[in-house]
Amino acid sequence: MTDRLGFGAASIGNLYREVSDEDAHAVLEEAWAGGIRSYDTAPHYGLGLSERRLGTFLRQQARDTYRLSTKVGRLIVPNTGRRHGTDEANGFVVPDDHVRHWDPSLAGVRRSLEASLERLGIDRVDTLFLHDPDVYGLDEGLRLGLPALARLREAGLVDEIGVGVNSVEAAVRAVREGDLDVVMIAGRYTLLEQPAAEELLPLCQERGVRVLAVAVFNSGLLASDNPAAAHYNYGAVPPELVDRTERLREVCARFDISLPAAAIQYPLRHLAVDQVVVGTARTSSLRANLQHMKTEIPDELWETLRDEQLIP
């Protein structure tokens, strides 16, 4: 099932912790050896570090053997007020020599893509996402960004266009207001919670829009041995979700299935979901994710989860 597993490259942009070039290369080598051929990155991830590292690795591979996506909307520009600190306030342990500037205009989108290609050292990406318009201004983002993406697709600069968001409502609006090929939705269609199932997934299925499910572990909650000490949406885990996670784990244990294996495979059961995308900078975690994708999960497990009202 590795054709349905993508690699998300935020972690190799020093998300939350410093990662060496050697460790970043090693996890990418492990992903490639495991059969992963779909890679996603963004300028936002480490202020360009993720794109540079991913590009260094992918330039060693034949261009027609993998698919590559990056994102636009956040331009990376020099930080004229730099205080020689780090970007940890935004989650990345990198020097703060650049900052993000929101610009979903056609000129901004073109400039962002050109800069990404330069950092990657690769002449094209397959898919281009408008990144987090729900964070910076949804109305402006969709009004300017979606037509801009369509112009780049019409010009043959990319094959596919889409949005990458955390909000179901933002994704629904983007699908209705734009002519998209793909939606990347983070954390909203997982074993723990399924708000995307009500309107977004049926809409995407109706319109032939591919869905990529990311953050399928809900910020690591579904992959943690101790939910109470984990994170949820980058914060503390609400008590009711700790309880729900333990109930999910207990049902999985009855079938001798690990909770992370069920979590990584669950989104793929919906016909609208084409891939799950997971990211890590640790080779041990990458190997575990590959193994989770290979785990044979009996239908009885899903039926039991439904019977106990843990999934729809």
- Enumerate the active-site residues: 45
β-bridge pairing 38-40 and 5-8: parallel
H/E stretch holding 139 reads helix 138-140
Confirm if 116 and 70 have CB atoms less than 8 A apart: yes
> What is d(CA 42, CA 69) in angstroms, rounded to the nearest whole number?
8
β-bridge pairing 5-8 and 98-102: unpaired
> What is d(CA 165, CA 247) in angstroms, rounded to the nearest whole number?
28
β-bridge pairing 98-102 and 210-214: unpaired
> What is d(CA 54, CA 79) in angstroms, rounded to the nearest whole number?
24
Identity at 173, one-letter amino acid code? R
The CA-based angle 305-311-312, given to 5 degrees, is 120
